Amino acid sequence: MQTDYSKWYRAISARRSQRSYDFNRPVEPDLLEQMRQLCAEFRPFPSARAVLVKGSTDEVFRGLIGSYGRVKDARAFIAFVGDMDCPNVQEQVGYLGEGIILEAAAMGLATCWVGGFFRPDVAASLVGTRGNERVLAVTPVGYAAPAVTLEERAMCRFGLSHRRKPLSRMVSGLEEAKWPRWIRAALEAARLAPSAMNRQPWSFHVEPDSITVSVTGFPVDLVVSRRLDAGIAMLHIEVAALSHGVQGGWEYLENPQVARIVHCRRK
């Protein structure tokens, strides 16, 4: 499929996570159809796919404690499905899902990555998983509620979603004064990537023509894989590079490294 990466690049800074939706303003059928087609056609990896499900989402989402933190009043959601036989499934699902979320943001729709507080068995039954597939994450899709609720504000504070680590704490390798323009843009875009509880579990090693993404933090993931978060950052890096005229290719690496993008050529 043809992708307008400059549109996704602009959406990186505009996107915000949204848990409360306007039930009285359903998404227009033509926009839902565009999202359905995107889910069907955006398949950068054979082991990861996305499925749009229309209808009530009440049975899919749950809160931190009871209904606290629960996604409310969305009329559709997208499930991000991965084949667990693939060793790189987590980062592939993160990459795929973030592309779809950025497209939704560019269309004026609200979304929210949900990796831990949903019912994967219910989502799987609605999607129709097959073989060794699992629903690794989901996002509601809709229009944001007209007023931000106190609970929404509390959830933002709980996850510190508005805060980002400085690049100086994330980046090693080539000194900053020597970063090419595309690398600086890619790292700034990666810094804005969403992650579970805003933990930002990544670091970046820079060489003159490459960026290596690694995961940091606890060695065991209890709910949401850090490599899924890394896949989201990978998508941001590639979108920023493409928007600055640089095309690169990813190579997968061993833990704790995830992948390296190498500058191949100018577009």
Supply the CATH number for residue 226's domain.
3.40.109.30
Residue 24 burial (C-beta neighbours within 10 Å; 0-12, 13-18, 19+): exposed
* Token pair of 261 as six digits: 């993008």
Of 98, 122, 156, the residue at which a domain comes to its end is 156
Mean pLDDT computed over every residue of the chain? 90
Instruction: Inform me whether the pLDDT recorded for 194 exceeds 90.
Output: yes
Assign 67 a pLDDT band (cuts: 50, 70, 90): low
* 121 within domain boundaries: yes
Mean pLDDT of 240-264: 93
Residue at 177 is within a domain: yes
Residues 174 and 73 grouped into a single domain: no
177: which residues sit within 8 A by CB, 6+ positions away? none
CA distance 172 to 186: 14
Mark which of 134, 156, 178 sits at the end of a domain.
156
Asked whether the beta carbons of 80 and 132 are under 8 A apart, the reply is no
Q: Rg (Cα) of the chain, in Å, rounded?
A: 18
pLDDT score at 131: 94
* DSSP element (H, E) containing 12: helix 5-14
For position 56, what pLDDT does the model report?
80
Q: What is the mean pLDDT of residues 183-196?
A: 96
Q: Which of 252, 193, 165, 256 is nearest to 219 (CA)?
A: 256
Helix runs in 57-180, H state only: 89-106, 120-127, 150-159
Q: What is the count of structural domains for the chain? A: 2
List, in sequence order, the alpha helices (H) in the chain: 5-14, 29-41, 89-106, 120-127, 150-159, 181-191, 226-243
pLDDT at 137: 97
Domain boundary among 113, 137, 156: 156
pTM above 0.75, yes or no: yes
pLDDT tens-digit series, residues 130-162: 999 999 999 999 999 987 655 555 555 444 445
CA–CA dist 218, 224 (Å, integer): 12
104 and 222 belong to one structural domain = no
Residues 80 and 183 in one domain: no
Q: Is residue 205 part of a domain?
A: yes
Q: Is 178 contained in some domain? A: yes
Q: In this structure, are 42 and 129 located in the same domain?
A: yes
At 58 the pLDDT is 86
Q: Are residues 190 and 239 in the same domain?
A: yes
CA angle 116, 103, 88 (to 5 degrees): 50
130 lies in the same domain as 26: yes
Question: Looking at residues 250-264, what average pLDDT do you find?
Answer: 93
Query: Alpha helix locations (H) across 76-198?
Result: 89-106, 120-127, 150-159, 181-191
Sign of CA dihedral 9, 160, 97, 104: negative
162 part of a folded domain: no
- pLDDT value of residue 62: 81
Of 9 and 68, which is predicted with more confidence? Answer: 9
Residue type, 100: I
Q: Evaluate if residue 48 carries a pLDDT over 90.
A: yes
- Asked if 100 and 10 sit in the same domain, the reply is yes
The pLDDT value given to residue 161: 47
| Average pLDDT of the residues in 87-99 | 98
Predicted local confidence at residue 15, as pLDDT: 94
Encode pLDDT of 205-234 as tens digits: 999 999 999 999 766 666 789 999 999 999
Q: Are residues 191 and 247 in the same domain?
A: yes
**Is there a single domain that holds both residue 71 and residue 176?**
no
Give the residue numbers spanning the domain of 119.
5-156
Q: 232 and 102: one domain?
A: no
Q: What is the pLDDT of residue 158?
A: 45
